[in-house]
Each structure stands twice: as C-alpha cells, then as structure tokens.
Amino acid sequence: MIDWRQTGSGLGTARRRARRARLRNAVLAGALLLTPGALLAAALLLQPAAVHSDRHVTAPVGEVVGIAGNNLTPADLDRIAALGLRYVRSDFSWAGTERKPGTYDFGTYLEFAREVHARGMRPLFILDYGNPVHTPFTKIQWRGKDERRTSPPVAPDQIKAYSDWAAAAAKAFAAYRPIWEVWNEPDHPRFWPPKPDAAAYGRMAFSACQAIRSADSGAEVYGPAASKWVDGAFLSALAGSKAVTCFSRISVHPYQMTGDVTRDGALWQGLSRRIAAGGQVSAPKIANSEWGRPVVGRVDGEAQARYLVRTLVSALAADVAPNVWYSWKDAGSDPDYDQHHFGLLLPDGTPKPAYHALRTMLKELGAMRYACPVQRAGVEGAIFSGDSGAEALVWAKTGAALLEPAKLVPSGWKLAGLVDMTGKPLPDGEQRLSNAPVYMRLRPASSGARPALNCPQNP
C-alpha cells in the first residue's frame, strides 16, 4: 500500500478546526439572510422568470466534479475513478519537499500524480504552506491559546524561493496535467499568520503564478481558495491585484451555499461582480475547489446527500467548475466532532447516502450539460441536456410540493421515467415532492429532428 502523506505542513488539524468554525457560523439561524448577497437574492425572487432555450453552458456534469482527500491509497483512487470523479485535490507541502534550500524531492507526489493520471483523473495540488527553511515561525492567538505557525512568504527573497519551488514542481509534473492552487484560504489567520493580508498574498501569488506558467505554458493555476467568498473584504481587495489576471480561475470554498438555487445563484453572481469590480478581469471564471457538509447534529446522512446534489446544481447553474467535494472518507467516528463526518464514506469504507446520491447524479447527468432552471409552483431545480435526451432534476423549494410531470415536460418532449435521488425508479404520474431531488428522464416525443428545449418557468 502506498502512503501519500502530507508532510511538513502540520496544518491538517488546523484546517479542519477552521472549517468547523465556518460551518457553525453559517448554519446558525440562517447566517446568509442579512448579507447584501442574500438581499440581492430576495430581489431576484421577485423578478419575472426569463424564457430559456436549449443551451449548453458548462462542460458535461461528469467532467467537472472532484473529491478532496489526503492519504488516499490506490484502492481509494480506484473507487474514486469508478464513481466518475475527474479531480483529486490534495495538499502539496512546500516544507515537505524542500528540506534544503533549492533541493526538491517530489518523489512521493510524483507517484501520487502518476496513479491519479493513470485512472483518467487530474490532480489538483495546493501549494502550501510556509517552510522553515525560508520563512520564520510566528505565534497567533487561536481560541485563547498561543499557536506556533510557519509564516507565509512575504519578503522578496521568500517569495522568490516559493516561486522557484512552484516552478520546479510545474516542470516536473507537466505530463500529468495537474491544476496548481496557490495556497489555501489565505483569508484565514491560521493559514496566513499572523493575519490575512490581501496585498501580500497578491504579490506572492502573482510571482508564483508567473513562475509556474514560465515552467509550463499550458498549466492551469487557481487561487486564492478563499473561505470568505460571501461579501469578503479579502476577495474585494485581491480583485485589484495582478494575481487575478494570471489565475485560470478564481477559487473559493462556498460552504455557505444553501441549496436554494436562486439564492446561491445571486451569491455566485455577486462574487463575479466583486472580482470584476477590481478592474483586472471583466468576466472572471470561478472554481469551487472545496465544499461540503458534515453528518452531525441535525444533519443526517440523507440531509448531507440532498445538500450535495442541490448545491452542485447551484454551482453548475452559475457555470462554476470544477466542483470539489470535501471529503472522500470520514476522518473518525466521534459523533460530536463534525470534522470526522464530511466524507462520502464511513471510516471503514462503507458508502453514506451522499455517495449513492453523487453516483446517481453522475450516472443520470454525467454526459449532459446544464441547460436552464426550473421554477414553478413550489418546485425548483434545473434541466440538463445531452445527446441521449434531457433530464429535469427537481425538488420542493420549501417543505413539500406536488410534482406534476405534465406541467414540467417541455413542449415536444415526453416523460421517459422518474427516479429518486438514489436511482430507485418511481411510478409515473403525480408525486409528493420533498426537498430530496427527483430525476425526470425526458426524450423527444416523436422521431425526427430534435425539438427545442424550452424550459418551463412560472406562468
């Protein structure tokens, strides 16, 4: 068994604790309701729905979904590939690969990249964190306690060292087509100690991004992997940096998504406008490089599964890609510790409901692209289109609703079957919908030319 461990960073636990705090804050009493983004969402709800025609916005669903995880074994990668995922996000430790100045040992990560690539997937490597060979230790206060952290590269010589290391990695890994993500959550004090600094991050990221592109002209580079993507001052400040002109995509961690397609869509639109307002890029491309929800407290396995499907639809509707779920496997079994329960699998490898929901989604929609939204009589969702036909993925917007397939099937099309979130067939005809998604398989009503896909909207 190959053991690909994160070495040298010592921040795995820190990342998990910080994520726990973000989720708690987001869940409490509808934390989004008072933000400007949420007010915009409410305004959008009052606008008349537009008429949408058959259009392919994103890549096929099966090409834009990935998973995050460290310490993944070849057996894990086999299962990840079999599920239909295309990206594997993992830490790529600066301290663990440059223990002497200018001397790089990428052997463990090269082996991992080969294994990922051999299975038809792409590594998404996070170029993290500080390195005591080049950057000093610093102390921060976290929850009333002193914590020792390695500083990020901010001085010119430190930035050069980080950029040289990133360039060496890009050159060594070019054959495996990785995506390089410059840092992780620099808007959080535990990952950019002693406190976040958008200007400093922007200088470092621009240097590193240019170095990567010099080493591999075809490289994809993401950043900043920001945790505060809703009305975040860090992202607003970074928007004026040259770094955003170098990034292939602006990456964020949208843990605050709710699964309400209209509200989430307004948040994604707000993010794009905020980045564009910096004057560096007019139409920024966005990546969701980490999102998830743990099974803990009032969130059971079914709720996690519903959240995964609905928020992924929200991201696809906003042309956000790729979308990387955190994480592959539960980190433990403490029922009261949320960081143990983000996975698609239990610690022993048993699939959770979210695993089955994602498998069904990729089976039903993998070859299809997002076409248009569905908003009608308490039902919301989206229609997806592909060469084999189309599918509507719908659920009750709040509480329960009556699914009347005849009112949702576009003109010129017919219903070819209903399946639930796990792939179980449902009887045709009216259904009582909950917030659990249901798939409506659609096919042309007659032979001949494929009919236009005019999506049903509120009358």
Mean pLDDT of 25-31: 35
At 221 the three-state DSSP class reads strand
Segment among 101-115, 172-186, 401-415 with least mean pLDDT = 401-415
Rounded to an integer, what distance in angstroms lies between the CA atom of residue 54 and that of residue 8?
50
Rounded to an integer, what distance in angstroms lies between the CA atom of residue 7 and that of residue 396?
45
Token look-up 């001085």 returns 155
| Contact (Cβ atoms closer than 8 angstroms) between residue 65 and residue 322 | yes
pLDDT at 48: 28
Rounded to an integer, what distance in angstroms lies between the CA atom of residue 272 and that of residue 318?
10
- For residue 427, cis peptide bond before it (omega within 30 degrees of 0): no
Rounded to an integer, what distance in angstroms lies between the CA atom of residue 266 and that of residue 229?
12
- Kindly state the greatest CA–CA separation across the chain: 71
Rounded to an integer, what distance in angstroms lies between the CA atom of residue 424 and that of residue 383?
19
Give the tens place of pLDDT for each residue, 124-150: 999 999 999 999 999 998 878 899 999
Mean pLDDT of 344-361: 98
pLDDT at 454: 81
Give the tens place of pLDDT for each residue, 75-116: 999 999 999 999 999 999 999 999 999 999 999 999 999 999
For residues 157 and 333, the model is more confident at: 157
- What is the DSSP secondary structure assignment for residue 62, as one 8-state letter? G
- 10 pLDDT more than 80: no
Token look-up 């989604």 returns 361
CA angle 433, 264, 378 (to 5 degrees): 25
- CATH 2.60.40: which residues of the chain? 370-444
pLDDT at 245: 98
pLDDT at 142: 81
DSSP calls for 273-311:
HHHHTTSS-SS--EEEEEE----BTTB-HHHHHHHHHHH
Confidence of residue 307 (pLDDT cuts 50, 70, 90): very high
- How are beta strands 249-252 and 220-226 bridged, if at all? parallel
Residues in the chain: 459
CA Rg value for the chain: 22
Mean pLDDT of 429-444: 94
pLDDT at 359: 99
Residue 32 has phi, psi (to 5 degrees) of -85, -15
- What is the DSSP secondary structure assignment for residue 37, as one 8-state letter? H
Confidence of residue 364 (pLDDT cuts 50, 70, 90): very high
- 235 pLDDT more than 90: yes
pLDDT at 112: 98
Rounded to an integer, what distance in angstroms lies between the CA atom of residue 369 and that of residue 134?
46
Rounded to an integer, what distance in angstroms lies between the CA atom of residue 329 and that of residue 75?
13
- CATH 3.20.20.80: which residues of the chain? 12-367
- 32 pLDDT more than 70: no
For residues 334 and 160, the model is more confident at: 160
**Which option is the CATH number for 12-367: 3.30.70.890, 3.20.20.80, 3.40.225.10, 3.40.50.300?**
3.20.20.80
User: Mean pLDDT in the chain?
Assistant: 88
For residues 260 and 80, the model is more confident at: 80
- 71 pLDDT more than 80: yes
pLDDT at 337: 87
Residue 163 has phi, psi (to 5 degrees) of -65, -40
Helix (DSSP H) and strand (DSSP E) numbers for the chain: 13, 18
pLDDT at 458: 55
CATH architecture entry for 370-444: Sandwich (2.60)
Least Cα distance to 393 among 452, 436, 450 occurs for 436
Confidence of residue 457 (pLDDT cuts 50, 70, 90): low
